[in-house]
Amino acid sequence: MAKIKNKHNATKKEVIVEAATRLFREKGFKAASMRDLAEAVGVEAASLYNHIQSKEELLQEICFKVANAFNQHCEEVENSDLGSIQKVEAILRFHIRMMLEQYEMVIVADRDWKHLSDPYLSNYHNQRRTYRKRLAGIIEKGIENAEVKPVDAPTVVLIMLHAVNGIESWHRSKEKISARQLEENMVLIMIDGLKA
């Protein structure tokens, strides 16, 4: 029987999660089967259950890895001595880099989290809502301090996050600017647009 190929000192579960991430991005969580996943890692479907309990467990791993990364970074930035504009820029750059470097995982978490079941669904939904409120709070503080134009902070958050999610189309583009140019252009447009 074939064994799960361990690469870069990753655990077998990490190899499975990585393959599941690719598969979920390509087919969507609902359409991807355990048979597809077994084929992707080179084992029989039954062998997967030695390492994971279910397809949803993989989705939980993906979603909460992404949520934890964003929330941890946001907390570090919030607690820093940076001004409001610099905080928003730091968070925006982190989002852009996640979409450039970990985009399959971010896309799966953003698109497929609704397939989680409770308590994971409620937990993830609360984390998303809290994250957006925290980012809006940084913008509102910037407005109070006259660093940021008087704008509706939740709308700014919505626009920023949707713009960053649009990086998925950059990955598919045949003629594209460099990742560095993309990041700098996005920051220029969005951050300069906020400055008072």
CATH topology of domain 12-48: Arc Repressor Mutant, subunit A (1.10.10)
Lookup result for tokens 């970074």: 73
- Mean pLDDT lowest among 7-11, 37-41, 119-123, 139-143: 7-11
Tokens in use for 42?
């080179």
pLDDT at 85: 96
In angstroms, rounded to a whole number, what is the distance separating the alpha carbons of residues 100 and 175?
16
CB 112 within 8 A of CB 20: no
Using the structure block, give the residue that is written with the tokens 């953003």.
110
Confidence at residue 127, expressed as pLDDT on a 0 to 100 scale = 95
Query: In this predicted structure, which of 91-95, 152-156, 166-170, 172-176 has the lowest mean pLDDT?
Result: 172-176
**pLDDT confidence of residue 98:** 96
Fold classification of 63-192 (topology level)? Tetracycline Repressor; domain 2 (1.10.357)
146 has pLDDT over 50: yes
Q: Where are the domains of the chain?
A: 12-48, 63-192
Q: Tell me if 12-48 shares its fold with 63-192.
A: no
Dist. CA 189–CA 70, nearest whole Å: 22
What per-residue confidence (pLDDT) applies to 119? 96
Reply yes or no on whether the pLDDT at 1 is more than 50: no
| Higher local confidence (pLDDT), 1 or 33 | 33
- The predicted pLDDT at position 7 comes to 58
Mean pLDDT of the chain: 91
Share of the chain above pLDDT 70, in %: 95
